[in-house]
Structure 1
Amino acid sequence: MNTITAVQRRTVVVTGAARGQGAAHAALLARTGYRVVMTDVLDEIGEQYAATVRTRGYDVDYRRLDVTDEADWARLASSLAATDAAVCGLVNNAGILRYGLISDTSVQTWTLHERVNTLGPFLGIRALAPLMTTTGSIVNVSSTAALVGSAGYAAYAASKAALIALTKVAAVECAPRVRVNVVCPGGVATPMNDDEPAGGTSSDAPLARRARPEEISPLIQYLISEASSFVTGSTFTIDGGLTAV
């Protein structure tokens, strides 16, 4: 079992961490020495996964967080400030995808995408960046849907494109103390993608498959770490070559 030291109390918050990409990102960050606060609204799944990671000797906690709720973010920030948590990172991973043509997309569905995929990261940046008192890193998880046009992704693509724009503004406003970058995965094999047609857009990529969540996590870990200390305001694609064609 790993021994947690004071240095390893550096805390990273990961949203949407109960399953899929968020769970993979949380596990890798924990393995590389961070204290990870996993957040989600899927409490039973999140608690079970956090408990599993803890049995391996890593410092992981689970908290319920609705990323669209300003009060939830305020409570999380207050609880972290009241402990010995030295917050150094935030991974805005939580997101939703409801596949549908423009003609079939309701205003309610459009608004839901904007609230979860764009408002959530905005609230997270606003709540946690002030806690990063030395140096910090925020990683927003967008999508290649924000970069290429694909039928059926209007609400999702628009919300993820807005997240790229938010990232660039936040990088300017938070510098030099906090770095802010955005990652655009291509198709990833997670439960969120169940609403898509089989394969999604991955069949159009040179590698012709979906990514495994753990194939995205090393890029997240790099951007959180000091190894990327001169990287901010940047957009990274990790998509099996989808945007190369």
Structure 2
Amino acid sequence: MNQRVTSRSVRTSSLRTRAAVLAAGMGATVVLGTGVAAAAEASAATAATSAASAVQAQAAAQAKAAETQAAAVAKAKAVAAKKAAAAKKAAAKKAPAKKAASWVNPVSHYKLSASYAQAGGMWQSTHSGQDYAVPTGTKVVAAHGGTVVKAGPNGAGDGPAYGNAVVIKHGNGMYSQYAHLSKVNVKIGQIVKTGQRIAFSGNTGNSSGPHLHFEIRTTANYGTAVDPVRFLRGKGVSL
């Protein structure tokens, strides 16, 4: 009887021990599983943080590289612009200054008609100047800068054959005369520049048609004319 009780007690104790061990094992497994899960979550979070940091670092590097490149391009453009400006300035210094024309033709878009010393019934002896065939109202300009010494009708004092006329005294001791004008735009004593308008062409006086009669003289008066074409060509004027 005592042996049976003892045997049962041993078996019961053994079962209890196994149950306790099994329970402990299951608890350890649960604890281990929870730990693994937590570790996995922590690892994933760390990986995500690392990836975000890497993306930010890459973006910052790209931005810095773009900024560096833009700065280099801007610097290169500034250097090129500076060199171009220096080259232009140097070329301007080397290039000879363009001088203003000393003498010019008294009219534009003309046709040369009666020439100097040409014989004909229109003149007392020979022609005293060069005629420029142009329509009435064509702008007449000073062939060279100077002072107006004659201006008005009756050839400005040289006779009715010239019609309305102007005479300009130049600094080189020469004079220019403009005749058969329709209108005079200057007065005696007025200083004019080369190329400045002084009158409009016409058909006044002893004239067979609209034109400008132009003379170069050694004095202000009739009878001192020289060949105006030769004179102007000597001053570099093309006719």
Q: TM-score, normalised by structure 2?
A: 0.21
> Max radius of gyration: which structure?
2
Q: TM-score, normalised by structure 1?
A: 0.20
